[in-house]
């Protein structure tokens, strides 16, 4: 086991230098954008692949934040209708706050702004959790995930921007209740699942640091 792990650690992983984009063109340019790629890449066994053709959804990057109250040990979740879930049993999804990143803003700035717009709360201290591609098989979006310190007693009501047709309801939930919803499938959003699982591992440390 240790020899195998050592081999993995010493192995050199491929990067963007090992891909050749032969052609890229935009096939659709609406609210969502679809790009057409023709590319080839190095093969693990050596040499290069044949040209590969793929379509990819160009969505831009996003930031999401889990508002956590270390004193009350509660989280703030929001509920809103999602077009991608219309065919499922829960079109209204329970989520953490999130928004698309504009070129003029950092990921953390977006997360703080969205906390105000979607939940009416201000973020005090914050910490980066991770960044990841939700669906790299067909979408360029990269999501930057944070946890932020809040006073959950100030979180209530209905929020969102009218010009973006947002209708968002705020929920203040005990951390343990949120984890139960995670276990029974009530929470289906990937960013929310990752953030709550991270909180399950790190809440004791956060409570110690943020209650100072």
What angle do the packed helices 190-210 and 175-183 form, to 10 degrees?
Answer: 160
The catalytic site residues sit at: 164
State the CATH class of domain 62-210: alpha beta
- pLDDT at position 3 is 47
Nearest CA to 76 out of 109, 113, 119, 140 is that of: 119
- pLDDT at position 100 is 94
- pLDDT at position 10 is 54
- pLDDT at position 163 is 83
Nearest CA to 110 out of 99, 119, 118, 121 is that of: 99
- pLDDT at position 11 is 67
pLDDT tens sequence across 110-122 = 999 999 999 999 9
Rounded distance between C-alpha atoms, residue 131 and residue 58, angstroms: 17
Q: Are 118 and 78 in contact (CB under 8 A)?
A: yes
CA angle 70, 71, 74 (to 5 degrees): 60
CA angle 202, 205, 210 (to 5 degrees): 115
Show the low-confidence residues of the chain (pLDDT under 50).
1-3, 5-7
Q: Are 13 and 35 in contact (CB under 8 A)?
A: no
Query: Hey, where are the domains in the chain?
Result: 12-58, 62-210
Structure tokens at 165: 């047709």
């Amino acid at each position: 086991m240790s020899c195998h792990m050592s081999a993995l650690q010493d192995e050199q992983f491929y990067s963007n230098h090992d891909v050749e984009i032969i052609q890229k063109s935009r096939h659709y340019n609406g609210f969502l954008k679809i790009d057409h790629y023709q590319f080839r890449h190095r093969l693990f066994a050596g040499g290069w692949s044949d040209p590969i053709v793929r379509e990819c959804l160009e969505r831009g990057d996003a930031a999401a934040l889990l508002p956590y109250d270390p004193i009350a040990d509660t989280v703030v979740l929001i509920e809103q209708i999602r077009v991608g879930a219309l065919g499922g049993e829960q079109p209204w999804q329970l989520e953490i706050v999130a928004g698309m990143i504009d070129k003029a803003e950092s990921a953390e700035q977006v997360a703080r702004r969205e906390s105000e717009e979607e939940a009416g709360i201000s973020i005090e201290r914050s910490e980066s959790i991770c960044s990841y591609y939700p669906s790299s098989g067909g979408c360029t979006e990269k999501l930057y995930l944070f946890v932020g310190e809040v006073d959950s007693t100030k979180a209530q009501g209905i929020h969102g921007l009218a010009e973006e047709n947002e209708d968002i309801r705020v929920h203040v939930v005990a951390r343990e209740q949120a984890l139960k919803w995670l276990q029974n499938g009530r929470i289906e959003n990937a960013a929310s699942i990752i953030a709550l699982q991270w909180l399950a591992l790190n809440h004791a440390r956060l409570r110690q640091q943020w209650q100072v």
